[in-house]
Amino acid sequence: MLLARKRVNRRFTAAALIALLLTAGFGLWVTYGFGGITVAERIDDLGEAVAALVAAVACGAAALRHVGRSRLGWLLISASALTWSMGELVWSYYELGLGRQVPFPSIADAGFLGAVPLAAAGIALFAPARRRAVIRMATVLDGLIIAGSLLAVSWTTILETIYSHGADSVVAQGISLAYPVSDVVILTMLLLLLAGRFRARNRLRLSLLAGGLLANLLADSGFAYLTTVNSYGPAQLIDTGWVAGYLLIALAGFRGWLIPVDPPQPKEQAQSLWQLFLPYIPMAIAVLASCADAVLAGSIDAFLFYDIVIVVMLVVIRQFMMFFDNTSLNERLQEQAAALQRREEHLRSLVEHSSDAASLADGYGVIRFQSASVQRLFAFAPGELVGTRLVDLAHVADRAALLNCLNDALKASAHPTSVTCRLRHKLGTWTHCEVTVTNLLYLPSVEGLVVNIRDVSDRKELEEKVSHQAGHDPLTNLANRSAFRNALEEAIEHLEPGRTISVLIVDIDDFKSINESLGSELGDQLLAAVGARLEQIIPADALAARLRSDEFAILLLNTTILGAGPLAASIIDRFAGPFRAGQTEVVMRVSVGGAELVDGEETASDLLRNADLALRRAKAKGRARYQPYDPGMRGSLAA
């Protein structure tokens, strides 16, 4: 990309140097008449025609590289240069082909003057498009004010002289006046063009185009004045203005061909100070020129008087129009400001009365803004937490997770990251919260981390309740069979060498008969009482569970089968005491079977099976007793 840019700049610089050398050479040749007046006249006429033709080709090539308004603008400038070139060729035909002076007026004048409206239309298309009708109308009035003011200046300098000298016919008089008037039109369009705002890549080509047209209009005005006073002859230095002008236009087109730029999109732009004062600068010059003319002439020229009156009327109309437009814009601005204020109030109300707490923190997690809802959630005043690190409000065990959430948010702009943690209440308690962090540091209007804090205590409590119910028996609140087996498998998996695990299975003797005699409701009360009594008996590191209707299990860590004997005896002894069910006292006896891990039988299924075999042997021996597992039980029970 950089190499391509350098290549383009080298080409353009070379073209500019060639144009400069050609202009200088042309000026020297026609000034000093190298080779005689005949050669100088040929160089003069043909050089002007070729320069305009080169400009037409360059602008036409630029049109091929553009679209929309820019393409049409370049085409019109190309057509203008081509029309002027045709006029110059007709002029050359008279002087070089026929060998006589060009008559005035002639067909050549049609080419010279016909180029003006094409150039003016092309310039208008390069100017930024306006959306609003008022702005477009103001631009038209600006053009009329500038044109009227320049016309007054032109009258005092050239037009009055041309008009006073008269001509052989009305047509000749009109054409004589048309040249400076056309220059006024071109100068007006150039001022409007240069007052606009353009992209940096567009400025050079438009400046070259403006410079070329300015050189042409200076040459046109000089030609009109010299022709009127019968002082224009072959090979004049002023002809260099046309060559320089069209070579500048050719450079503009060449630049447009080298670096095409999309046409500017129509959008409203604030007017610069230059644009605001643009119509009044030519008007002030016109007034000064008119006053000077009146002082020198001793009277006020009628044309100048009416011209200035019309310009002043246009200024008044423009001012009234802009006044009413500004009034309308102010009303719309007030309405928009009121609507914006209402939206801000709605947003503030939503934030302040939201069930969530909204915070704004900097890149280090320090709170810079806190919504009023923080008082409802944590009892802090809205401004009390400003300057506090968000991490300092989290529980020590949750700070690492919150820090990771903040770091993830800093890595992903506009992508929310969430974490569940405990945040400190002003009273010292902890609240389970869901913290969502969105990184909006890149937004100039925010420049911070948006932190949304939601109280999820109810959800957390429900989750814990559901989790508890999934692993516990609803009647006794002991672990259920699934939870017990999971705990047993985990204990076996993490068992250290040299240690063992034991399991006791406790079964209520004849519970079926008790349940049938008392009923299921009292039976359930008895089962709940059994679970409570078991929890009172077992060690703190043991786990009690209800496996089925009247069967319970106890997991003993780091306990051998012999070491579990005293606990089993204590259970049997404690269950000899009565249980109360309603108004009835019931005595229930239990049988206990126990087993520990043995070589070759080290799975949870093996341990539960062996404990169950021991329980069946205890019941077979008369119940209400404890029976440890013996490997020989499997064979004898099968027999």
List all residues 6 or more positions away from 283 whose beta carbon is below 8 Å from its beta carbon. 145, 146, 149, 311, 315
Contact criterion met (CB below 8 Å) for 518 and 503: no
Question: Do you find a cis peptide bond into 234, omega within 30 degrees of 0?
Answer: no
In which band, very low, low, confident or very high, does the pLDDT at 303 lie, cut at 50, 70 and 90?
Answer: confident
Q: How far apart are CA 146 and CA 194, in angstroms?
A: 13
Q: What is the pLDDT of residue 638?
A: 47
172, 235, 492, 590 from 104: Cα distances, Å: 7, 18, 120, 138
- Looking at residue 163, its pLDDT comes to 66
Q: What is the pLDDT of residues 16-50, one digit of tens each?
A: 999 899 989 888 888 887 877 778 778 888 888 89
pTM of the shown model? 0.54
Among the residue ranges 370-379, 460-469, 544-553, the one predicted with the least confidence is 460-469
Joined tokens for residue 261: 């730029």
Query: What token pair was written down for 481?
Result: 């069979």
What would the pLDDT profile of 462-472 be if each residue is shown by its tens digit?
Answer: 877 877 777 88
User: What's the pLDDT tens digit per position in 73-101?
Assistant: 889 999 999 998 998 888 888 878 787 77
Architecture of domain 472-638: 2-Layer Sandwich (3.30)
Q: How far apart are the first and last CA of the chain?
A: 94
DSSP string, 350-401: HHHTSSSEEEEE-TTSBEEEE-THHHHHH---TTTTTT-BGGGGB-GGGHHH
Q: Do residues 126 and 63 lie in contact, with contact meaning Cβ atoms separated by under 8 Å?
A: no
pLDDT above 80 (res 293)? no
What is the distance between the alpha carbons of residues 25 and 302, in angstroms, rounded to a whole number?
Answer: 45
pLDDT surpasses 60 at 458: yes
The full DSSP string for 533-585 is HHHHHS-TT-EEEEEETTEEEEEEET--TTTTHHHHHHHHHHTTS-EEETTEE
- Mean pLDDT calculated for residue range 602-619: 89
CB proximity list for 508: less than 8 A, separation 6 or greater: 514, 530, 550, 551, 588, 589, 590
What's the pLDDT tens digit per position in 332-347?
888 888 887 877 776 6
Asked if residues 487 and 608 have their Cβ atoms less than 8 Å apart, the reply is no
The average confidence (pLDDT) of the chain is 82
Most confident residue range from 111-125, 200-214, 342-356, 417-431: 417-431
Residues 6+ apart with CB under 8 A from 548: 481
- pLDDT digits 0-9 by tens, 316-325: 888 888 788 7
Residue 266: the pLDDT is 47
Backbone angles phi, psi at 334, to 5 degrees: -65, -40
Residue 7 has pLDDT above 90, yes or no: no
pLDDT at 437: 92
pLDDT above 90: residue 57: yes
Return d(Cα 586, Cα 391) in angstroms, integer. Answer: 58
pLDDT at 357 over 90: no
Percent of the chain with pLDDT over 70: 88
The predicted pLDDT at position 639 comes to: 44
| Residue 348 in this model has a pLDDT that exceeds 70 | no
Six-digit token string for 442: 């890149």
Residue 12 has pLDDT above 80, yes or no: yes
Output the pLDDT for position 201: 64
Report the pLDDT value the prediction gives residue 3, as an integer from 0 to 100. Answer: 66
- For the chain, the structural domain boundaries read 2-264+282-323, 353-462, 472-638
Beta 367-370 vs 584-586: how paired, if at all? unpaired
Residue 482 has pLDDT above 80, yes or no: yes
Using the 8-state DSSP alphabet, how is residue 257 labeled? H
The helix, strand and coil proportions of the chain, stated in percent and rounded to the nearest 5, come to 65, 15, 25
Between 75 and 125, where is the model more confident? 75
pLDDT tens-digit readout, 360-375 = 899 888 999 888 888 8
Fold of 353-462: Beta-Lactamase (3.30.450)
pLDDT reported for residue 351: 60
Residue 233 has what pLDDT? 67
Q: For 491-541, write each residue's pLDDT tens digit.
A: 988 888 888 899 999 999 888 888 888 888 888 888 888 899 999 999 988
How far apart are alpha carbons 580 and 292 in whole angstroms?
Answer: 127
How much of the chain, in percent, has pLDDT values that exceed 90?
Answer: 19
What would the mean pLDDT of 403-427 be, rounded to a whole number?
88
Q: State the pLDDT at residue 128.
A: 67
